[in-house]
Amino acid sequence: MANPIEAQGLRKLYRSRLGGRTVAALDGLDLRVEPGEVFGLLGPNGAGKTTTVKILLGLTLPTSGSARLLGLPAADPASRRRVGYLPEGHRFPGYLTARQTLGIFGRMSGMDATALRARTGALLERVRLERWADVRVRKFSKGMTQRLGLAAALVHDPEVLLLDEPTDGVDPVGRREIRDLLQEEAARGKAILVNSHLLSEIELTCGRVAVLRQGRVAAEGSIEALTAKTSRYRLVATGVDESLLAAFRETGATVERVNGHFDLGARDLDHLNALVDRLRASGGRLQELTPVRSSLEDVFVGLVREGAEKEGGRS
């Protein structure tokens, strides 16, 4: 069975308006999203995220490489019949109600009137807009408009979802509800690609992510693998003075005071145990020793800075 979302060797070249030089928006991108997966696409501005989504939607063609949706070439209009799309900063005509908006999207997707009426009511309830079903959209807050956009993407029960900043402008409770909804859709076998700058949301929502940098995948994997535990530890202890910290550093450890605890870096477990033995031998008492796991933000910023340094070295 073909992956619902797949790209192989995608390259997209543009002619720059400044100097007429050729710029690679994508430079050999490989990507796949499997059924039942929520996949995060991350990257700084200009990394190629928007270009990737445009190619998948058939809005632009790659210079080389291939992109497929549900086994069909992305340039084939038939590939988009089972795709739901939520663009960033979407707008609906203010004179329409929420119910009318979903009705239009459903009819454009080829739904029959009976199925559409039932689907509309159920979706408005799922996104917590049932009380606002017959209110004109111009009265909606940004968060409510975002919820309606998600419902519009889901109205024809697509197999693939392409979502750009799905929780933008939504309050914390609403973000939790949208995360739950996406997990429910994934559990039904949907393939979901989320493009977002909200790294904390991606970390809570997605199982796998890819970080784009200069048109290429700089890192890809599960959240757990990318944020694996480091050689740093959170140390809480009594009886720690400057002489003990100096003794730690003499062994090659790194240690800094941070808001009532110590950020401790050790080479390996043997080194860590030796430091703990030294602490106890000096009369100190260990209260907490916890491995520090990198956040997705740490990983993202590190990859972006690494790319900037490489680019600077080539200039």
Contacts by 129-132, CB closer than 8 A, 24 or more apart: 129/98, 132/98
Pair 284, 168 in one domain: no
Q: Is the dihedral of CA 200, 232, 290, 249 positive or negative?
A: negative
Pair 36, 95 in one domain: yes
Give the model's pLDDT for residue 296: 84
- Assign residue 91 the CATH number of its domain: 3.40.50.300
Pair 123, 25 in one domain: yes
- Assign residue 262 the CATH number of its domain: 3.30.70
Give the model's pLDDT for residue 297: 81
Q: Is the dihedral of CA 56, 62, 66, 71 positive or negative?
A: positive
Answer whether residue 86 is part of any domain.
Answer: yes
Domain with 274 in it: 229-293
Pair 214, 187 in one domain: yes
CA distances from 86 to 53, 55, 148, 198, 274 (A): 11, 15, 10, 16, 54
Pair 67, 88 in one domain: yes
Number of domain units in the chain: 2
Answer whether residue 283 is part of any domain.
Answer: yes
Give the model's pLDDT for residue 301: 81
pTM of the model: 0.81
Pair 121, 32 in one domain: yes
What would the DSSP string read from start to end of 268-299? SHHHHHHHHHHHHHTT-EEEEEEEEEPPHHHH
Pair 46, 82 in one domain: yes
Give the model's pLDDT for residue 21: 81
Pair 169, 241 in one domain: no
Answer whether residue 303 is part of any domain.
Answer: no
Give the model's pLDDT for residue 103: 96
Please tell me the distance from the alpha carbon of residue 166 to that of residue 177, in angstroms, as a whole number.
11
Q: Which residues of the chain have pLDDT under 50?
A: 315
Pair 163, 63 in one domain: yes
Pair 199, 249 in one domain: no
Pair 130, 47 in one domain: yes
